[in-house]
Structure 1
Amino acid sequence: MDVKSAFLNRFIEEEVYVRQPPGFESARFPDRVCKLRKALYGLKQAPRARRQDLVLLSRDGDTLIVQIYVDDIIFGGSSHALVSNVAEQMSREFEMSLMGELQFFLGLQIKQGPERTFVHQAKYTRDILKKFGKGDSKPMTTPMSTNTALDADEDGEAVDEKEFRGMIGSLLYLTATRPDIQFAVEGVDNALIKGEIESQWTGLIALLV
């Protein structure tokens, strides 16, 4: 479910002032500014004004789980009637579009079946491989070689710190569905404090492919 004009529905706590919109200036007070009551697109407060919650609702023995992230809402429950009822109520309260069965959310791909739900990040993995120029790399059997050295290499070649940190961040998010790479990612991440050198870079490349 996607809430339309989500940023415009929430009140903000901070005091924010804006110039009077052109064509709507006050004839009595042309030099005054307007105090915002709700968020506007472009404000740094707008995303934070949206709720980011996990809500659990129980009713007559049935359970409904609602996840709210900025303007995206996903929900499901043990009762189709309860889910439909909540969807109808929210649609009456806000202008929103129902997206159907959940298949993709925040980089996670969801495949639902009658007996289980499979969550993976295949597309996200391909995207970060392309982002860091490793789209044509051959896969490896393990996340890290047993002889990979992650100690500071004083003679190692310095690498791009921004790209290095970006790659680590991407891999940390990938561990949401890939716990098998957690140890290797943390090992390379910890080595970051010792300096971005060639041995850590090699370890990151191995993790990506």
Structure 2
Amino acid sequence: MGFAMKGQEEKVLKFKKVLHDLKQAPRAWNSHIDKYFQDNEFVLVLVFLHVDDLIFTRNNPNLFENFNKVISCEFKMTSIWFLSYYLGLEVKQMNNDIFGYAKKVLEKFKMFDCNLVNTPMEGSLKLSKFDIGEKEDLTLFKSLVGSLRYLTSTRLDIIYVVDVVDVVCYFMEAPTSTYMKTTYRILRFD
């Protein structure tokens, strides 16, 4: 496989850059930018990366300015200070809005003073649509999953487990106590 020239078949070329459409391009880009962040000791800025689009935020204005200045030296960038649309989604920046919503969800499901866990789901947990545990209130379950689904817009760390409980339960007549326990655990995740 590749390109050979008569008399120079033993020679090969090594790409210094990964081409955009190659399967390994996203991994190469992530490795490159991850190394850059580590080399420049960026630890206090939240950076969201999607392909070649970066969103970064902070709570320290000086850190934000420095990050923007330093990263602009390495990568060609266009800076938009207040994000209004990203990947087709409208973004509204409001103080404490999602935190207020998360607090209301915890209060609604009487989980505000719960004991926190450091994983959203038990690692050994096996869920099945054929679970034969005690049946729970479907309306309560749907309300809980709907609330969690809304929270996934800012809590990317719970997307997978919310999908797991939502998808498997879709095929059940009613959620079982195992599903309710698993779903309540997501609320306890810190």
TM-score by length of 2: 0.47
Provide TM-score, normalisation by structure 1: 0.43
Give the number of the structure whose residues are more often helix, by fraction: 2
Higher strand share: 1
Larger RCO, structures 1/2 (Cα 8 Å, 6+ apart) = 2
